[in-house]
Amino acid sequence: MYKFIINVILIGSLLAAFPALSQWYETQGYARTDETSIEIARTKAMENALKKALLVSGASVSSVQQVVNGLLTQDQISIRASGSVNSIELVDEIHVDNLITVTIRADIFPQEKKCFAINFKKSILITRSHLLHREQANIGEIYLIDKSAMTKLASKLNQHSTYTRTSSILNNKTEFSRLNNSLARDGIAQLTQSLSETTDSQYILFSEITNISFNKQSTNGWLFWQQGMYPRNFAISFYLYNGLNGELVWQDSYQNTATWPFTKRIKVDVDGNAFWQSEYGTMIEDIIDKAVKDIDENIMCEPSRGKIIRVNGNQVTINLGRDHGLKIGDEFSLLHLTHFTNKLGKSYAGYNLSPYKVKVTKLTRQTAIAATPDGQLFGNIQIEDLAVRYQN
């Protein structure tokens, strides 16, 4: 068995430019040695393996020549990549007859703003927002704005989003704000994965309403109320997490101010038309529209991944279906969750790309059955592994 550590040249970006965490992928590549030298065949096999890893990770690949340029020099293989590969390790090499098979382990960063549009919709669980300063809701008694705003967001995502669909809305409050305030990242990851598993959602959206106060001058006396001038703030922060690994995908904050048109002592129905058609309600709706657009733009580049919920012979059942945009004949690659330990004894989780590909043969609204075209049985594919759809 050969062992090479491969130097990777990052083009156009430093590693610090990637805010997202990288992910390890283990893939195999093949090349024939009967028409070329072993060194060139090895390089071609590694290019083949790396292309597979880039594709299933969600990188934009139009051709292998544009992504990978292999160069063999004695005991070192250098790979020039397009900015998304951190490091590569050649972990195995097998020669059988005139075929060379290499296994590589690639550490790949998700590519920012460079992706091919996938027409599959990702499912999002929208959790109830957290009102950080409940006393600010006293005027108008708008304590349920944390629930009402998320209902409005879910409706707009379902109506206008190209790449997402709301799987459900969680009306009960979660521990997110407490965990977020204490910077408990592991706790947030566990909460995210638990909610994803319970609701069968690919992404979990948390939010915090951070300010619904009146501007200071509006509360100094009754004069402003008599004049009908009540500037009220609205500020909200969103946090979108990947349900599979609990990692933060996107976050942003929005704020604005608009006139509060209701009298000081009236109880306002935050689900009613009078509220949402008011200047203040319209301002909140504008913020929600911006959030929907930003969620769409950030989630469109995420790979379309489904969780395998059943394995039966040469068939798998995936938790994606017609509602997500799947069609009969769509093709998926399979990723097996695996763990390995580096030379320093540190354990890593990653994915082993299975040699099997499956095509969708049956569909329901929420699930799909996919099978290997040749009837071949799976090796180590299990429940909780992933099915990944990509384009060549």
Residues forming a β-bridge with 166: 124
- A 10 A CB-CB count for 98 gives 11
- A 10 A CB-CB count for 149 gives 24
Residue 316 vs residue 263, higher pLDDT: 316
Same domain, 53 and 142: no
**Does residue 117 lie in a domain region?**
no
Q: Please give the C-alpha separations between residue 351 and each of 55, 78, 91, 329, in angstroms, as whole numbers.
A: 13, 23, 14, 24
Query: What average pLDDT does range 332-355 have in this prediction?
Result: 77
Same domain, 78 and 165: no
CA–CA dist 276, 153 (Å, integer): 13
What DSSP element (H or E) covers 307?
strand 304-312
pLDDT one-digit tens code per residue, 36-56: 788 888 888 888 888 778 767
pLDDT value of residue 21: 57
Q: Backbone phi, then psi, for 147, in 5-degree steps?
A: -85, -40
Residue 246 vs residue 115, higher pLDDT: 246
pLDDT one-digit tens code per residue, 222-259: 455 555 568 999 999 999 999 888 889 999 999 999 99
- Domain carrying residue 48: 4-108
Query: What average pLDDT does range 84-99 have in this prediction?
Result: 82
**Does residue 76 lie in a domain region?**
yes
Query: Which pTM was predicted?
Result: 0.65
pLDDT value of residue 263: 85
pLDDT value of residue 72: 38
Contact 234, 284 (CB under 8 A): yes
CA–CA dist 200, 307 (Å, integer): 9
CA–CA dist 99, 101 (Å, integer): 7
pLDDT grade, residue 17 (50/70/90)? very low
**Does residue 162 lie in a domain region?**
yes
**Does residue 208 lie in a domain region?**
yes
Same domain, 327 and 253: no
Q: Which amino acid is at 57?
A: S
pLDDT value of residue 24: 82
Domain boundary among 85, 108, 131: 108
Same domain, 141 and 155: yes
Angle (CA) 314 319 320, round 5°? 100
CA–CA dist 182, 239 (Å, integer): 15
Same domain, 95 and 10: yes
**Does residue 165 lie in a domain region?**
yes
Total number of domains constituting the chain: 3
Provide the CATH number for the domain around residue 97: 3.30.1660.40
Paired tokens of 106: 């690639």
Residue 387: closest CA among 81, 191, 111, 120 = 120
- What's the farthest any 2 CA atoms get from each other in the chain? 92
Residues forming a β-bridge with 348: 340
Same domain, 63 and 104: yes
pLDDT value of residue 229: 63
Q: Which amino acid is at 180?
A: N
Contact 387, 333 (CB under 8 A): yes
Among residues of the chain, what percentage have pLDDT more than 90? 34
Same domain, 214 and 348: no
Q: Please give the C-alpha separations between residue 268 and each of 142, 210, 219, 275, 288, in angstroms, as whole numbers.
A: 6, 20, 18, 7, 20
Residues forming a β-bridge with 349: 339
Paired tokens of 320: 């994606």
pLDDT value of residue 73: 35
Domain boundary among 256, 278, 299: 299
The single residue listed with the structure tokens 């379309």 is 304
CA–CA dist 242, 261 (Å, integer): 39
The single residue listed with the structure tokens 């990509």 is 390
Same domain, 97 and 149: no
Same domain, 49 and 171: no
SS3 (DSSP) at 37? coil
Alpha helices (runs of H) in 206-256, residue ranges in sequence order: 223-227
